[in-house]
Structure 1
Amino acid sequence: MCCSRQLRTLPLALSLLLLAAAPPDPRFGVVESPEAPDWAARLGVAWTRVRFAWHEIQPNGPEDWNPPWPVERLEAERRAGREIVALVLGTPEWARADPQIPGVPRGLYVEESRPENLWAAFLRRLATTYPFIHTWIIWNEPDIWDPTYPGYTWGGTEADFVRLLRVAYRTLKGLNRENRVLLGAFTYWWDAVYGRRPYFERFLEALARDPEAPRSDRYFDGLCVNLYFNPDSLHDLIRWHHERMRAYGFDKPIWLTETNAAPSEDPAWPVPHPMFRVTLEEQAAFIGQAMAMALAAGADRLAVYKLVDNPTDHFANPEPFGLVREDGSPRPAFQAYQVAIRTLAGFTEARLVRRDRVAVVEVRKPDGRIWIAWSRSPQPQSIILQRQGTLRGAIDGMGRPVPWTAVAQGYRVTLPGARCGQRLGTACMIGGMPVYMVESALRPLREPE
């Protein structure tokens, strides 16, 4: 029936079967699942990032020890099947080399086995308190340079940051060679918007001046990025980071440790003066687009910031980032992420096929493939996607059945237009609700002609 013009939809029962829960894919995560473990289980994430702020754990001196997460609580996450990834940042004032410069610890340039190296001593105690944590992210967004901004935590030089990473790498690997050390996430935009050279480029220059770095695998096993609001920039900047590393003769895995498009128009948390106007539906549409673009760019792991809103978020951000509200009700983005996780679980590779009035990403799996497509304009777009197997179903980013038509070339489907509350160039910043076309393979997959 390759040439039938009959309009088809996937029955609701089949769409639910298509999204049947599978073992969690280790590549999909969320920030701070211990705050709401039941919601994390429903979401189906396999890893979570938790924050350890040195200045909160030891605020007054080395005798303090107030870790934010009880060991039992994090062990419960492990038993539930979620890997714990630790983010470590923030130097208490008493431990700073210079009280006026945040971040740089006293004794940083002393050999890490000596007690005068306060950073190494703190990491050693933290890692032995949580011996089941084997992935450590060193710092977060050191490229934030404005002292008046709440997220400003690093005032040292790029050489100081290389040293911070070096001490962390040697200390954590010395405790357990299986420990994985990740370079803390960069935002990119804190430099780009103000015409500054990107911090990551400056970091790589400083790293290249350390003669011991190549012998120690350059002191990190992978790096992190935090990118928000614009699916196109997720794709382009993940590739940019890979390109910058390759220019220095190496490459490392990249984790997207934070992404989201926080809504400004949720009645439960209105935002009078947002950076971008984003509806709840746009936030949900962003989730599928962001996952597709990040995978197409080669991201190894992905996480949404964050799982659930809490009262302290009102002081940190003007917008609400939780997939779940403070009152325990999920935003549409929760369901969108659940659909993306279940649809994409088990993927082997992804590539960006098209980016003009529409975006199309092809995701391959051992038993087939998935087309993910969305309109990048306010107008609906009719497109044809090539057939290579048997169509299991067509659903939108919320898991709802989508009508399609069989044609000689494959499948014709209409992509809904974007609300387009914010434009970037000629395209909408966030496109319309994405469509997933899920195929089972009848023959080995090949590149489209």
Structure 2
Amino acid sequence: MGWRERVQRDRVGRSMRMARRALVLLAVLMLAAIWPAGGGTTADQTPALPFYGIQFRDILSQRDLLAPAGDAGAELIRVNLRWAEVEPTNTNPPTYVWDKYDALFGAMAQAGFAIMVTVRDNPSWAATTPCGPIDKVPAGRLVSFLQAAVARYSGAPYHIKYWELYNEPDNQRPDMHQQGGCWGQYPAQYAALLGQVYPAVKAADPQAQVVFGGLALELLEDYFNHMFLNQVLTSPGGKQFDVMNFHYYRAFHWRWDPFGKDLIGKTAYVRGVMAQAGLQKPIILTEVGYPSVGPAEDGQDYSEEASSRYLMQAHARAHAAGLRAIVWFEMMDDPDDPRKYGLLRADGSAKPSYTAYQTFTRELAGLPYLRDASQGTLEAYAFDAGDREKLVCWSETVTQTMSLPAIGVWIVDKAGRRSGVLDGSPEDLDGRRDGVTSFPVGPEPRIVYPLVRSELPRPAAYLPRMSRGAR
């Protein structure tokens, strides 16, 4: 089913989610209005940032994807702002061409999304490479551009508060400039740039937040300087930012699992590096994804179904890691990328990962995270739903039995289908009516929560109704 049909089918739910996003955006603006500007060194002084984000490309046709993104439950959009496009020529005073971004950011804000901007792509008159140090003119030219952008977009109707400085700046190969950053050989210069950018951004908007460029931190041949973060934080200016930021892909879990499971481990590593530098700042994950197509030789399961499973796992682990936001890469398949990371196919039809995103946000958005409730290799993460707890659970190895002290449980699969198991029913794996309900948990992530007494069906009808399931 394409997203257009899905939107038509679910107008009421979409309207409610739009209202929720509007309230979240209002909360961001209200908090920003009262939050102290801070010094960008140690204190956690960040206005509330919506947790659920999606990466958009900076092309005007992406405006057509705002409706399905909203229907999925996303609240935050991460998108590029390319300096070379806005200031293509070197003039005095500077000449800025904002038309494209006025239209793009305006549509995103009007749809109720919070926006995080990634500033990147140096003009050729300013730098030798589009992704690294400003070496043809004083770095103050970039600072002036960024200050002008913040002044233009911080207020109505855009309300942009989060400004990221390059994408994956730890990349050290200028020939890979499409990454959006290549400061890997110049950590001291990136630190100095932070030191210049920070006060300029705050002067334009005291509530604006400077976001460290999303770090890859991977040991990938000669692509990345894996000591970049340590080197920046120990260089003058390197602590002048508000929010730490990194990227994570499942294929590199072997490097981070010693610090904790999957992206939880990488978060712990980043937090530890900051602690060594005397910093305690909020951390966000602005790029995580799972391709629908990939090389068979690396042993990973690449498919649309595998991507949808990992989406739910990653979002649950992001809560457990204490991250402030997670941005899924990306909204729609890029026709030029054979790996196909999108929630939507290039023709606009929804993949299973789109439905999984929608299910996760519908069931858990706004619920406080409680704890890691895992049992050995059975992973489970608990959320506070008020009168009960909701658990996201799965077992990556073999199907296992999970038991909850309850008269029954609701089980929601990643496609959003809800079914139930009653204590003592044939579906109850312990086979007893004993106040404990047992059910299987396998590789497919599920959201489970106790059934309360008011939800009990009539005795004569409960088994057929429970086995059919209902949304």
Tell me what 2:401 maps to: 382
Structure with greater contact order relative to length (CA < 8 Å, sep ≥ 6): 1
Say if 2:208 is the partner of 1:179. Answer: yes
Q: How far apart in 1 are the matches of 2:78 and 2:320?
A: 23
User: What secondary structure is seen at the aligned counterpart in 2 of 1:243?
Assistant: helix
Q: How far apart in 1 are the matches of 2:118 and 2:225?
A: 26
User: What secondary structure is seen at the aligned counterpart in 2 of 1:49?
Assistant: strand
Whether the 8 Å contact between 2:188 and 2:231 is mirrored in structure 1 is no
Give the C-alpha shift of residue 390 in structure 1.
7.5
**Structure 2 vs 1, CA of residues 190 and 68 (structure 1 numbering), >3 Å: closer, same or farther?**
farther
More helix by share: 2
* Partner of residue 75 from structure 1, selected from 102, 106, 111: 106
Q: Normalising to structure 2: TM-score of the pair?
A: 0.72
* Partner of residue 170 from structure 2, selected from 143, 157, 163: 143
Where does 1:98-177 land on structure 2 (aligned, <5 Å)? Answer: 99=128, 102-106=131-135, 117-131=140-154, 132-149=159-176, 150-151=178-179, 153-155=181-183, 156-177=185-206
Give the C-alpha shift of residue 401 in structure 1.
2.7
**Structure 2 vs 1, CA of residues 390 and 83 (structure 1 numbering), >3 Å: closer, same or farther?**
farther
User: What secondary structure is seen at the aligned counterpart in 2 of 1:93?
Assistant: coil
Tell me what 1:296 maps to: 320
* Partner of residue 448 from structure 2, selected from 413, 437, 441: 437
Look up the equivalent residue of 1:145 and give its one-letter code: Q
Tell me what 1:420 maps to: none
**Structure 2 vs 1, CA of residues 165 and 403 (structure 1 numbering), >3 Å: closer, same or farther?**
same
Look up the equivalent residue of 1:438 and give its one-letter code: Y
Unaligned runs of 5+ in 1: 1-15, 111-115, 266-270, 417-431, 443-449
**Structure 2 vs 1, CA of residues 324 and 127 (structure 1 numbering), >3 Å: closer, same or farther?**
same
Look up the equivalent residue of 1:228 and give its one-letter code: Y
Whether the 8 Å contact between 2:210 and 2:241 is mirrored in structure 1 is yes
Give the C-alpha shift of residue 354 in structure 1.
2.4
Look up the equivalent residue of 1:162 and give its one-letter code: A
Unaligned runs of 5+ in 2: 1-9, 25-49, 57-61, 254-260, 424-429, 454-471
Q: Normalising to structure 1: TM-score of the pair?
A: 0.76
User: What secondary structure is seen at the aligned counterpart in 2 of 1:354?
Assistant: coil
Look up the equivalent residue of 1:301 and give its one-letter code: A
User: What secondary structure is seen at the aligned counterpart in 1 of 2:74?
Assistant: coil
Q: How far apart in 2 are the matches of 1:273 and 1:59?
A: 43
Q: How far apart in 1 are the matches of 2:451 and 2:212?
A: 38
Q: How far apart in 2 are the matches of 1:188 and 1:441?
A: 46
More strand by share: 1
User: What secondary structure is seen at the aligned counterpart in 2 of 1:240?
Assistant: helix
Give the C-alpha shift of residue 357 in structure 1.
2.9
Give the C-alpha shift of residue 247 in structure 1.
2.3
Residue deviations 1:240-261, cap 9 Å, x none?
2112212222211111111111
RMSD over equivalenced CA pairs, Å: 3.2
Where does 1:49-448 land on structure 2 (aligned, <5 Å)? Answer: 49-62=78-91, 65-67=96-98, 69-96=100-127, 99=128, 102-106=131-135, 117-131=140-154, 132-149=159-176, 150-151=178-179, 153-155=181-183, 156-190=185-219, 197-206=226-235, 210=236, 218-229=239-250, 232-264=261-293, 276-311=300-335, 314=336, 317-354=337-374, 356-377=376-397, 379-384=398-403, 386-387=404-405, 393-402=410-419, 404=421, 406=423, 408=434, 410-416=436-442, 432-439=443-450
Give the C-alpha shift of residue 224 in structure 1.
1.4
Percent of aligned pairs with the same residue? 22
The alignment covers a number of residue pairs equal to 382
Give the C-alpha shift of residue 173 in structure 1.
0.5
Whether the 8 Å contact between 1:106 and 1:117 is mirrored in structure 2 is no
User: What secondary structure is seen at the aligned counterpart in 1 of 2:77?
Assistant: strand
Look up the equivalent residue of 2:149 and give its one-letter code: L
Whether the 8 Å contact between 1:143 and 1:187 is mirrored in structure 2 is yes
**Structure 2 vs 1, CA of residues 342 and 101 (structure 1 numbering), >3 Å: closer, same or farther?**
closer
